[in-house]
């Protein structure tokens, strides 16, 4: 293969979302799910949608330059009403689950994977990935700008994760957490709740 043809092949791969037929395909697949993207959207979104490996609830919104990536057979599930602001990246090796009505500020990164680096001969970008297990985020979670959610972590419902935090361990529901690594700063209790009182098992605010 000539250098020119090889360059063109790489260009088509890296710019595939910008090709008119693929752009139409992405919007068609999103419309079928009642979800929306403000252009551009990055990653292998069309492939994942067509293979049902990117599962979206209704009214998911992707702001510009959201990056979704998951080589087969990786899966990403995002619940209805969730909002991913500019530059958010979700990367799956096996499974990333995000609940309903979550909000991710600019630059957040959510993944279930880690780059390998243990081979002293192979270049690091070629070594692939490992995972500690699925990464799961419950309903109604708000992550501040540039928060990082790492492999194998579970964040319970109605948590707030502070800006620039790195979450490396599970965060229980109704928590405010921040830092690198993130630690629970306090818990949240509601004076009134749809169930008629405090959420089940909700701790008292400290």
Q: Is the pLDDT of residue 194 over 80?
A: no
Q: Is the pLDDT of residue 206 over 50?
A: no
| Average confidence (pLDDT) over 41-65 | 98
Token pair 């330059």 in the structure block, residue: 65
Q: What are the helix and strand counts (H, E) for the chain?
A: 3, 21
Give CA angle at 105 (51, 18), nearest 5°: 45
> Distance between CA atoms of 52 and 50, rounded to whole angstroms?
5
In-domain check, residue 111: yes
Tell me the CATH number at 122: 2.160.10.10
In-domain check, residue 60: yes
In-domain check, residue 195: no
Confidence of residue 199 (pLDDT cuts 50, 70, 90): low
Is residue 115 annotated as a catalytic residue, yes or no?
Answer: yes
> Distance between CA atoms of 95 and 98, rounded to whole angstroms?
10
Task: Lowest mean pLDDT of 140-144, 181-185, 192-196, name the range.
Answer: 192-196
Q: Is the pLDDT of residue 66 over 90?
A: yes
In-domain check, residue 64: yes
Query: 3-class DSSP state for residue 22?
Result: helix
In-domain check, residue 55: yes
In-domain check, residue 162: yes
Q: Is the pLDDT of residue 34 over 50?
A: yes
Residue 159: predicted pLDDT: 98
| Average confidence (pLDDT) over 103-124 | 96
In-domain check, residue 197: no
Closest CA to 61 of 82, 87, 92: 82
Mapping DSSP onto H, E and C, the string for 181-203 reads: CEEEEEECCCCCCCCCCCCCCCC
Q: Is the pLDDT of residue 201 over 90?
A: no
Q: Is the pLDDT of residue 200 over 80?
A: no
In-domain check, residue 90: yes
Task: Lowest mean pLDDT of 75-89, 150-164, 183-197, name the range.
Answer: 183-197
Q: Is the pLDDT of residue 21 over 70?
A: yes
What residue numbers bound the domain in which 32 lies?
A: 3-187
> Distance between CA atoms of 171 and 69, rounded to whole angstroms?
24
pLDDT in tens, 128-181: 999 999 999 999 999 999 999 999 999 999 999 999 999 999 999 999 999 999
User: Catalytic residue among 21, 27, 101, 115, which?
Assistant: 115
Q: Is the pLDDT of residue 101 over 60?
A: yes
> Which pair of tokens denotes residue 11?
């260009």
> Which pair of tokens denotes residue 15?
């710019």
Domain count, the chain: 1
> Which pair of tokens denotes residue 186?
């306090």
* Element of type H or E holding 97: strand 95-98
Q: Is the pLDDT of residue 204 over 90?
A: no
> Distance between CA atoms of 141 and 154, rounded to whole angstroms?
11
């Amino acid at each position: 293969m000539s250098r020119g043809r090889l360059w063109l092949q790489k260009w088509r791969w890296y710019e595939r979302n910008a090709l008119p037929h693929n752009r139409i395909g992405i919007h068609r697949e999103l419309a079928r799910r009642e979800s929306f993207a403000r252009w551009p959207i990055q990653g292998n979104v069309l492939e994942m949608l067509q293979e049902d490996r990117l599962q979206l609830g209704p009214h998911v919104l992707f702001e510009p330059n959201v990056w979704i990536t998951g080589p087969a057979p990786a899966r990403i599930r995002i619940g209805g009403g969730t909002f991913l602001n500019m530059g958010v990246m979700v990367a799956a090796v096996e499974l990333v689950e995000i609940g309903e009505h979550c909000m991710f500020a600019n630059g957040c990164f959510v993944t279930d994977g880690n780059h390998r680096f243990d081979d002293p001969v192979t270049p690091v970008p070629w070594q692939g990935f490992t995972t500690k297990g699925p990464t799961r985020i419950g309903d109604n979670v708000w992550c501040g700008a540039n928060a990082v959610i790492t492999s194998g972590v579970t964040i319970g419902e109605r948590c707030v994760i502070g800006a620039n935090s790195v979450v490396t361990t599970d965060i229980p529901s109704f928590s405010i957490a921040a830092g690198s690594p993130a630690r629970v700063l306090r818990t949240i209790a509601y004076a009134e709740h749809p169930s008629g009182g405090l959420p089940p098992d909700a701790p008292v605010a400290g």
